[in-house]
Each structure stands twice: as C-alpha cells, then as structure tokens.
Amino acid sequence: MKQSQLFTKTRREAPSDEVSKNARLLIRAGFIHKEMAGVYTYLPLGFRVLKKIENIIREEMNALGAQEIFMTTLQDPAIWIASGRWDDKMVDNWFKTKLKNGNELGIANTHEEPLAKLLTNNVNSYKDLPLYVYQIQNKFRNELRAKSGIMRGREFLMKDLYSFSRTEEEHKEFYEKVAEAYKRIFERIGIGDKTYRTFASGGIFSKFSDEFQTLSEAGEDTIYIDEKKKIAINKEVYTDSALAELELDKNTLIEKKTIEVGNIFPLGVKYSEAEGLLYKDANGSNKPPIMGSYGIGLGRLMGAVAEVLSDDSGLVWPKSISPFKLHLIGLTDASEIYEKLKKKGFEVLYDDRDTSAGEKFADSDLIGIPYRIVISKRNISAGKVELIERATNKTEEISEDELIKKLS
C-alpha cells in the first residue's frame, strides 16, 4: 500500500483525555480512533493488526477441533433470568435496551447462557459430545473505569470458546489443551516470555480458574510469580491455604503488575442445568454436560503488545501481527522495488509521500513495522538498499537480491 493513499495521518499529540500509553501511541500512529471513553474504532492499520491476531487465534481454535459460529448481540432476558444473571446485582456491567413495545433486551456481555440454550436444539445424546464451539464477536460491558485504552473497552472484541463434556476427565483434558493453545497464541503474538498462567478465583468446581497474565506496569492485576515453575497466583486468591494447596513457597514468589490477556474457567453444570441442556448418557438417563469457558480479548491483547513492546520512539510490532512486514521509505522514487517486493508476496507499506526524510523516519518509528528499507539516490547508485530492524535498530546495506533472500 502507498502511504500517500492511507487516509490516516500520524499525529504529534494524542487527545488530552487519553491517559493510557497503548491508546496514546495507537491514536498518534493512526491505528485507532477514540469515539468516547472505552469506545474505539479500528482504522486501516489497526484493523490489519486486529485481523492478524484474529487469524492466529482462529487457527489455534480450529486446531483444537472447535467450530466457529457468530451469535447475536441482542439477547433474550428469559435466558438470563433462568441462570439468575439478568439481575444488575448479579452482573453489574450490563447494557440493556428496550423494544418499541417496552420489553427489555440484553446487549451481549458474554454468551454462556445463550449458547447453552441454543445447543438444546442440537445436543441429545452422549454421542453428540464432547462439543467445542467458539466465536470472535463484540461484547458490551458498562465498565466503571475505562482508563486503559483498548485494554478495557465498553465495546470490545472477544474470542469466546465454550466446551461441553460428558465427564470431569473429558473436561479436564480439553481444559489443559486449551491452556496449551493459549500458550502458543501468546508466543506467536510475541508476548509468550512475559505471560504467566496464573491461578485466580472464579472456578466453579475446581476452586481456581486460570488467567494468562502479561507483565506490565500498565496492568490492573497483581500476581505473585514462581519463576522456576513459570506459574503465578493472583493477589485475589493469595492466602496461606491457597499457597499450601498449590505448593507455592511465599519466599520465592515475586510480586508483579500484570495485564489479564486471557482466562479459562471451569463452569461445572451451572449453565447447562439452568438452560435445560441435557443429553442422554449410555444408560438412557438425562445429564447436563460439564461446561468450560475460555476468553481472550483481542483489543486487550493488541493493547498489551503496544504497552510492552513499544519504546520511546513508538510502537514495535512483532512480525506475526504487524500491519505490514516492510516499511519501504522512498527518499527518491522507489516504485520499482515496491512493485518487485509486492510481486514477491511481501506486505509493504511504501512511504511515497512528498515529505522530509526526518518526518518519514519519525513516522516509521512511530508506526513500528519490523523492517524498514530505505531507498536513497546514493544507495540506489551503489546497487544497495538500507535495511533497518525496528526492534534493535540493526542496520545493514545489502543488495536487492540479498534483501529478498533475507526476508523470505
């Protein structure tokens, strides 16, 4: 893509009411637009990042044998009354709306109940299970605080996966497979080394749920890490008895601030029972499937990457989710090499604008594409291009052929 055609421009300043580093950087670089507190639009650059995150997550979900669907945002209150979660005292961040006739509707904040209800149409026998269903869909939550940029939206994209199993063993086996898939997702997205599986509250029959927490001072959580075991415990369940149960030693734990990028919950039969989701077991008796739910916030994840991998000059995208792989900076006409790189299949952002070299470099730093290629009159006449790695600033002068070989 030619940068002259990109309708977003970089900005020197972020809105003064935006306090979070992730949103300030992403707004300045033209990835997102702030509509209001906790509500952000994804612009072309940001949308490309979001789609790449989405595809990585989708690949890992499909590899688990999960089937993708797309559920509705408008929800029937009856389904929520059945589980006791329609009440604002039970769920304090509901957005609700009304039909013309005055009847209330829910605006999706999660989908355990509607999915369990839906599956009463599809699950009859033990032969229909286990079943794994997921979606990548917007959620709406009336969050009290929305000061963390795209990491805490009032409208945000979530991947939510739900499992329906016949036995506790079957449930546990899948639950661990999802934990492994989550590990791969965070590794592929470039924050694997900073992300810890963390014991947290909220499990229904296993006492704990599991969160995936990424080290960052911008995080809203506090966890205690066991570096040797590569696991952690959330402050909310940090008690002497929990430590004993998890065989964690107080003296070796390190306290850190973190961002919850994902979590997985054992739900037992709470929602299947409430929604009348039953299957006939081999003996012909009716049973509710054991459920698990597994969430990842895509904006939360993108915001976390912006927080932890950026530097003083701007964003630093990992190759896997960068909006483009190459940022071609033309200090002279570089359309020939632009066409060549495109033909080779590279995703290239070509800065063909009529602006100064300094401005182009500063913008390139801010946007944070992993490789920058600089084409100037001087290096063209020497048959070379300049290749600079954004993360390390490592610079080399190489020929076009070497460049293509290196990047392939």
Shorter beta-carbon distance to ligand ATP: residue 211 or 352: 211
User: Of the ranges 229-237, 259-267, 271-279, 381-389, which one interacts with ligand ATP (CB under 6 A)?
Assistant: 259-267
For ligand ATP (CB under 6 A), the number of binding residues is 16
Query: And the tokens for 309?
Result: 């991998």
Chosen residue from 149, 288, 297, 314 binding ligand ATP by CB under 6 A: 297
Shorter beta-carbon distance to ligand ATP: residue 37 or 407: 37
Rounded to a whole number of angstroms, the minimum distance from the CB of residue 317 to ligand ATP is 19
User: Of the ranges 161-169, 280-288, 289-297, 370-378, which one interacts with ligand ATP (CB under 6 A)?
Assistant: 289-297
Tell me which H or E stretch contains 81: helix 77-83
Shorter beta-carbon distance to ligand ATP: residue 108 or 326: 108
User: Of the ranges 113-121, 229-237, 275-283, 295-303, which one interacts with ligand ATP (CB under 6 A)?
Assistant: 295-303
Rounded to a whole number of angstroms, the minimum distance from the CB of residue 262 to ligand ATP is 5
Q: Are 158 and 108 in contact (CB under 8 A)?
A: no
Q: What is the CA radius of gyration of the chain?
A: 24
Contact characters 82-121, ligand ATP, x per CB under 6 A: ----------------------------x-----------
Chosen residue from 23, 181, 296, 334 binding ligand ATP by CB under 6 A: 296
Query: And the tokens for 272?
Result: 């299947």
CB-based contacts of 267-273 (< 8 A; 24+ apart in sequence):
267/112, 267/204, 267/291, 267/292, 267/293, 268/204, 268/205, 270/83, 270/204, 271/83, 271/112, 271/113, 271/116, 272/116, 272/164
Chosen residue from 152, 171, 194, 360 binding ligand ATP by CB under 6 A: 152
Rounded to whole angstroms, how far apart are CA atoms 111 and 8?
A: 35
How many other C-beta atoms lie within 10 A of the C-beta of residue 85?
Answer: 20
Alpha-carbon distances, residue 176 vs 170, 199, 253 (angstroms): 10, 14, 24
The single-letter DSSP state of residue 147 is -
Shorter beta-carbon distance to ligand ATP: residue 156 or 371: 156
Shorter beta-carbon distance to ligand ATP: residue 43 or 267: 267
Sign for the CA dihedral angle at 141, 146, 151, 155 comes to: positive
User: Does residue 18 touch ligand ATP according to CB under 6 A?
Assistant: no
Shorter beta-carbon distance to ligand ATP: residue 8 or 110: 110
Q: Are 254 and 222 in contact (CB under 8 A)?
A: no
Shorter beta-carbon distance to ligand ATP: residue 223 or 296: 296
User: Does residue 287 touch ligand ATP according to CB under 6 A?
Assistant: no
Rounded to whole angstroms, how far apart are CA atoms 374 and 386?
A: 5
Binding site for ligand ATP (CB under 6 A): 110, 141, 143, 152-153, 156, 158, 260-263, 295-297, 299-300
